[in-house]
């Protein structure tokens, strides 16, 4: 048979591994090891390191920041197996992915599925190169968990759309170049009256006001649209199909927000080590506070069960479908993130409640802010309660039954 | 569900079909009503052996199929769903593990083919009190001549009433040793203990039982071996518990979709929906760690102990929750003997105690992690 001459898949993968390692060695500057700033993909850059800029450009041109996206739109065109090899090779030398943000996590996969060919050609390549920061225009003051009650009006003015209204909790809105938004194109229907548009944040009539949070930071904004003109070609999918597209995007968001990635890295000292330091140990080397020790065990066990589930969901969904488990991961990830923060605070005592200044080390101040910031994870991207509704309705079929 | 190979998928499907068709909960009810001390239906066990399930982890050279622990776990999960009363997990997983891990060639040849064929049932006799505690073993094996004399009493030995062979943990003077003791050896006696799950948990007494030197499996200081054997037994029990949890949950969900009150199907009440969503979430986590423990055993990884304690503690907490919710959400009907909710909570509590409850495994998990 003619196919007998074809390369064995395992050999091909090993050949790719060598190519990837060579390319990474030639392009990743060693000085950048340990300098990954995950927020850089969302927040504005403050005098960026020229080496980091070069690394981002190299990865962007190679398409390896979005390794499995199609090559024709600027992605890497790699198989999942190749992407895993790439990740392994990057891990070996401490290289990190400089391409990220909401364009990569949420919008890109959605555009690949729903956008027109022209829209894909225009919007996906800049995401792959990390040139455009996207923000999400979903929530409104009156539309939180009940997102479909959103009111931001989008009127057909013949040669353009006219958008009026207010969005809120716009993550990174003050730094974003573009916004993907759910808007109301029909007031007579709830879900079918919603459309999905792409909006240039530099358009006249767009105003952004950062919101100060309990953690003292302002990662979210209120975004006001006053008579904002949007070109007709910026509607994604059909008129009135925004709810379907928007929900699909939320699935990507929830998968990404569950924290699986960051929990998997095992960064920093373990809770038990922090507890040994602050609380001390007994004669047998156990954390001296027996009650706290058991709660740490419960937390660590749940964190491990979460990681095992994230891995299982990933393996199960390799076939390309989003696993049903993504809804579970969001809630469990939120629970674990918040429990870890609460335990850290408890362990540090008053030192875990410092706000700023002398008397507290950076880890302690970070614990305080992280604890407050972490209250968001069970609220954003669908609250825990909404996720439970989703599980009950879509997975368990508890409303569908007559 | 772990990603399965073709053999595992076939085995799982076969076990599911058999459990549904040949061993539904009504079959367990018959065993319970019969009230026999052995606590299982020999015909059902014979059918399982006929299908090769007693040889799933046993190498082909000794009459098994060598499919591994995850494969046997799939069978235990499926048969656990319908509460199949069978010594399968005890003989073909727990006791077999001692022979696989440390048995001499002669010991393996003597016993494994008989276990694989289902001709004999082997049981693990470790605990001597109501709570699992391998550090409190008083049973003594004293050297006499070129053999041993074994004396002591084991409590709540699973399948102790029907077993033909015991793997007994005893103090040898240099530590804990594991001994193969045929149930018909002189000095072995047993007394049934009638328990809530209507299964066999015998008190087994060893009164100066004479054993040849080849009765010892592994070293005279085999505490580490015992721990390894127990970890495999624990993973097997956790797999059965997964089956119970899944079925108890499914039955509760089905009930909520049929029962009406206030002119509404119960499944439309959000208060109940969120309780079910929570249980579903916990069961998904439980599945990941139970399968993870079995996979760790199959791969002979060095973190088997931690993975098993994680699995058993999680299994205990989750099944505890789900079995309580099963009764509560069924309401009065779940309190009746006519309904099977009671069978699930009774078996659940016994399995929670088996080879260490949640507290035991949390403590062990912390010690293994060095805190």
**Helix residue spans in A39-107 (DSSP H):** 50-62, 80-93, 102
Query: Contact, B166 vs B141, CB < 8 A?
Result: no
Considering only CB atoms, B314 lies closest to which of A301, A385, A402, namely A301
Q: What angle do CA A366, A368, A371 make, to 5 degrees?
A: 100
Q: Which structural domain range is residue B61 located in?
A: 6-119
Task: Please count the other Cβ atoms lying within 10 Å of the Cβ belonging to residue A82.
Answer: 20
Q: Are residues B267 and B170 in the same domain?
A: no
Per CB-CB distance under 8 Å, the chain B contacts of A273 are 371
pLDDT of residue B341: 98
pLDDT of residue A304: 96
Q: Are residues B79 and B17 in the same domain?
A: yes
Q: Are residues B228 and B356 in the same domain?
A: yes
Query: Contact, B212 vs B222, CB < 8 A?
Result: no
A300 φ/ψ angles, rounded to the nearest 5 degrees: -60, -40
| CATH number of the domain enclosing B165 | 2.40.110.10
User: Could you give the 3-state DSSP secondary structure of residue B13?
Assistant: helix
| CATH number of the domain enclosing B252 | 1.20.140.10
DSSP secondary structure string for all residues of B263-285: TEEGGG-HHHHHHHHHHHHHHHH
Provide residues of B within 8 Å CB-CB of chain A: 1-3, 253, 256-257, 265, 267-268, 270, 272-274, 276-278, 280-281, 284-289, 291-292, 310, 313-314, 362-363, 365-367, 369-371
Q: Is the ipTM of this complex over 0.95?
A: no
- pLDDT of chain A, 402 residues: tens digit per residue: 344 455 677 788 999 999 999 999 999 999 988 877 666 666 665 557 888 889 999 999 999 999 999 999 999 999 988 998 998 899 889 899 999 889 998 999 999 999 999 999 999 999 999 999 999 999 999 998 889 999 999 999 999 999 999 999 998 899 999 999 999 999 999 999 999 999 999 999 999 999 999 988 888 899 999 999 999 999 999 999 999 999 888 877 766 655 444 443 445 689 999 999 999 999 999 999 999 999 999 999 999 999 999 988 888 877 555 566 667 999 999 999 999 999 999 999 999 999 999 999 999 999 999 999 999 999 988 899 999 999 999 899 998 654
Q: Are residues B292 and B358 in the same domain?
A: yes
At the top level of CATH, the class of A134-241 is mainly beta
Which H or E run includes A200?
A: strand A194-200
A133 φ/ψ angles, rounded to the nearest 5 degrees: -90, 130
Q: What angle do CA B27, B33, B38 make, to 5 degrees?
A: 80
Burial of A322 (0-12, 13-18, 19+ CB in 10 A): middle
Rg (chain A; Cα; Å): 23
Please answer yes or no on whether B274 and A385 come within 8 Å at the CB atom.
Answer: yes
- Residue in A closest to B360 by C-alpha: A294
Verify whether residue A88 is a known catalytic residue.
no
Distance from CA of B264 to the nearest CA of A (A): 9
Please answer yes or no on whether B276 and A392 come within 8 Å at the CB atom.
Answer: yes
| CATH number of the domain enclosing B76 | 1.10.540.10
- Residue for token pair 């076969």: B14
Nearest to A70 by CA among A23, A132, A124: A124
Query: Contact, B134 vs B168, CB < 8 A?
Result: no
pLDDT per residue as tens digits for the range A152-205: 999 999 999 999 999 999 988 999 999 999 999 999 999 999 999 999 999 999
Q: Which residues sit opposite A140 in a β-bridge?
A: A143
Report which DSSP code applies to B219: -
Query: Contact, B110 vs B164, CB < 8 A?
Result: no
Per CB-CB distance under 8 Å, the chain A contacts of B288 are 305, 308-309, 311-312
Instruction: Please state, in angstroms and as integers, the Cα–Cα distance from residue B322 to each residue in B328, B329, B342, following that order.
Output: 10, 10, 12
Per CB-CB distance under 8 Å, the chain A contacts of B313 are 301
For chain B, say whether A282 makes contact (Cβ under 8 Å): no
Separation between Cα atoms, residue B239 and residue A345, nearest integer Å: 36
Separation between Cα atoms, residue A212 and residue A401, nearest integer Å: 44
Q: Are residues B68 and B41 in the same domain?
A: yes
DSSP secondary structure string for all residues of B298-315: HTT-TTHHHHHHHHHHHH
pLDDT per residue as tens digits for the range A230-247: 999 999 999 999 999 998
The residue out of B185, B217, B249 marking a domain boundary is B217
Q: What angle do CA B111, B116, B118 make, to 5 degrees?
A: 95
Structure tokens at A43: 């927040």
Separation between Cα atoms, residue B220 and residue B226, nearest integer Å: 11
Structure tokens at B237: 């029990």
Q: Give domain limits for chain A.
A: 14-100, 134-241, 258-395
pLDDT of residue A322: 58
In a domain, B1, yes or no: no
B355 φ/ψ angles, rounded to the nearest 5 degrees: 55, 35
Select the residue from A263, A307, A396, A402 to test the B interface by mutation, using most B Cβ atoms within 10 A. A396
Separation between Cα atoms, residue A64 and residue A257, nearest integer Å: 22
Please answer yes or no on whether B362 and A298 come within 8 Å at the CB atom.
Answer: yes
Instruction: Please state, in angstroms and as integers, the Cα–Cα distance from residue A332 to each residue in A346, A377, A378, B280, following that order.
Output: 21, 10, 9, 12
Task: Please count the other Cβ atoms lying within 10 Å of the Cβ belonging to residue B92.
Answer: 29
Nearest to B279 by CA among B243, B320, B311: B320
Considering only CB atoms, B280 lies closest to which of A276, A301, A395, namely A395
Report which DSSP code applies to B2: P
For the domain covering A258-395, report its CATH number: 1.20.140.10
Structure tokens at A30: 């060693």
Per CB-CB distance under 8 Å, the chain A contacts of B315 are none
pLDDT of residue A323: 63
- Residue in A closest to B3 by C-alpha: A316
Distance from CA of B26 to the nearest CA of A (A): 26
Considering only CB atoms, A301 lies closest to which of B280, B365, B367, namely B365
Considering only CB atoms, A308 lies closest to which of B273, B276, B292, namely B292
Spell out, as residue ranges, where chain B has pLDDT lower than 70.
Answer: 1
Longest dimension (CA), chain A: 79
Separation between Cα atoms, residue A197 and residue A155, nearest integer Å: 12
Q: Are residues B73 and B186 in the same domain?
A: no
Structure tokens at B241: 């518990």
Instruction: Please state, in angstroms and as integers, the Cα–Cα distance from residue B188 to each residue in B144, B153, B154, B165, B171, following that order.
Output: 18, 10, 11, 11, 17
In a domain, B50, yes or no: yes
Query: Contact, A91 vs A98, CB < 8 A?
Result: no
In a domain, B332, yes or no: yes
In a domain, B159, yes or no: yes
Select the residue from A305, A324, A332, A397 to test the B interface by mutation, using most B Cβ atoms within 10 A. A305
Pairs across A and B, CB distance < 8 A? 112
pLDDT per residue as tens digits for the range B1-28: 677 888 999 999 999 999 999 999 999 9
- Residue for token pair 């994230």: A310
Residues contacting A391, CB < 8 A, separation 6+: A327, A328, B277, B280, B281
Nearest to B238 by CA among B180, B293, B196, B194: B293
Separation between Cα atoms, residue B328 and residue B320, nearest integer Å: 13
- Residue in B closest to A331 by C-alpha: B281
Instruction: Please state, in angstroms and as integers, the Cα–Cα distance from residue B358 to each residue in A298, B161, B201, B349, following that order.
Output: 10, 27, 20, 11
pLDDT of residue A34: 80
Classify the C-alpha dihedral B1-B2-B3-B6 as positive or negative: negative
> Between β-strands A194-200 and B188-191, what pairing exists: parallel, antiparallel or unpaired?
unpaired
Domain count for chain B: 3
Residues contacting A315, CB < 8 A, separation 6+: B2, B3
Nearest to A140 by CA among A175, A183, A190: A183
For the domain covering A14-100, report its CATH number: 1.10.540
């Amino acid at each position: 048979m003619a196919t007998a001459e074809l390369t064995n898949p395992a050999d091909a993968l090993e050949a790719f591994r060598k190519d990837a390692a060579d390319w990474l060695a030639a392009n990743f500057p060693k000085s950048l090891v340990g300098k990954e700033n995950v927020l850089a993909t969302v927040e504005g850059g403050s005098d960026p390191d020229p080496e980091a800029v070069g690394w981002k450009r190299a990865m962007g041109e190679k398409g390896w920041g979005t390794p499995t996206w199609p090559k024709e739109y600027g992605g890497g065109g790699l198989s999942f197996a190749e992407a895993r090899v790439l990740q392994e090779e990057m891990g070996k030398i401490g290289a990190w992915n400089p391409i990220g943000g909401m364009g990569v996590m949420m919008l890109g996969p959605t555009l690949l599925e729903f956008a027109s060919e022209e829209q894909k050609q225009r919007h996906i390549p800049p995401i792959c190169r990390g040139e455009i920061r996207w923000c999400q225009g979903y929530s409104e003051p009156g539309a939180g968990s009940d997102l479909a009650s959103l009111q931001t009006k989008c009127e057909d003015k013949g040669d353009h759309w006219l958008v009026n209204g207010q969005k809120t909790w716009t993550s990174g809105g003050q730094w974003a170049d573009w916004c993907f938004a759910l808007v109301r194109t029909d007031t007579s229907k709830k879900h079918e009256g919603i459309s999905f548009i792409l909006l240039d944040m530099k358009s006249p009539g767009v105003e952004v006001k950062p919101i100060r949070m309990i953690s003292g930071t302002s990662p979210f904004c209120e975004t006001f649209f006053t008579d904002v003109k949007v070109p007709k070609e910026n509607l994604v999918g059909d008129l009135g199909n925004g709810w379907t597209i928007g929900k699909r995007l939320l699935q990507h968001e929830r998968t990404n927000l569950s924290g699986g990635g960051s929990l998997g890295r095992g960064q920093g000292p373990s809770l038990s080590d922090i507890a040994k330091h602050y609380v001390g140990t007994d004669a047998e080397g156990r954390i001296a506070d027996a009650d706290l020790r058991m709660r740490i065990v419960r937390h660590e066990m749940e964190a491990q069960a979460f990681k095992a589930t994230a891995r299982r969901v990933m393996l199960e969904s390799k076939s390309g479908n989003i696993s049903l488990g993504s809804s579970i991961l969001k809630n469990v990830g939120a629970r674990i993130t918040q429990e870890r923060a609460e335990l850290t605070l408890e362990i540090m005592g008053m030192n875990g409640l410092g706000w700023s200044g002398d008397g507290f080390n950076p880890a302690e101040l970070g614990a305080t802010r992280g604890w407050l910031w972490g209250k968001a994870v069970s609220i954003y991207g669908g609250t825990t309660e909404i996720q439970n509704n989703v599980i009950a309705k879509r997975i368990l079929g508890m409303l569908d039954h007559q | 569900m772990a990603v399965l190979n073709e053999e595992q998928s076939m085995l799982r499907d076969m076990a599911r079909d058999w459990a549904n068709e040949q061993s539904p909960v009504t079959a367990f009810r018959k065993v319970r009503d019969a009230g026999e001390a052995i606590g299982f239906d020999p015909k059902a066990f014979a059918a399982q052996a006929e299908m090769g399930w007693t040889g799933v982890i046993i190498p082909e050279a000794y009459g098994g199929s060598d499919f591994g622990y995850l494969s046997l776990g799939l069978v235990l999960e499926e048969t656990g769903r319908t509460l199949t009363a069978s010594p399968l997990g005890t003989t073909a997983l727990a006791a077999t593990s001692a022979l696989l891990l440390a048995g001499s060639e002669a010991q393996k040849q003597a016993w494994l083919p008989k276990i694989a064929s289902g001709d004999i049932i082997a049981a693990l006799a470790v605990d001597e009190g109501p709570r699992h505690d391998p550090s409190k073993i008083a049973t003594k094996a004293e050297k006499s001549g070129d053999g041993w004399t074994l004396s002591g009493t084991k409590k709540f030995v699973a399948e102790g009433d029907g077993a033909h062979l015991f793997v007994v943990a005893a103090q040898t003077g240099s530590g804990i040793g594991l001994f193969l003791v045929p149930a018909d050896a002189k000095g072995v006696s047993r007394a049934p203990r009638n328990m809530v799950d209507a299964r066999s948990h015998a008190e087994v007494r060893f009164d100066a039982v004479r054993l040849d030197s080849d009765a010892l499996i592994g070293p005279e200081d085999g505490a580490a071996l015992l721990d390894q054997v127990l970890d495999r037994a624990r993973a097997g029990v956790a797999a059965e518990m997964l089956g119970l949890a899944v079925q108890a949950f499914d039955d509760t969900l089905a009930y909520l979709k049929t029962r009406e009150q206030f002119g509404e199907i119960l499944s439309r009440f959000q208060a109940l929906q969120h309780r079910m969503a929570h249980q579903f979430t916990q069961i998904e986590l439980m599945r990941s760690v139970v399968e993870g423990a079995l996979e760790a055993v199959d791969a002979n990884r060095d973190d088997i102990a931690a993975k098993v304690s994680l699995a058993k503690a999680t299994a205990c907490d989750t099944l505890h929750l789900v079995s309580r919710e099963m009764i509560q959400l069924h309401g009065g009907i779940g309190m009746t003997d006519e309904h099977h909710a009671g069978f699930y909570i009774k078996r659940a509590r016994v399995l929670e105690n088996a080879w260490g409850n949640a507290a035991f495994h949390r403590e062990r998990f912390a010690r293994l992690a060095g805190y």
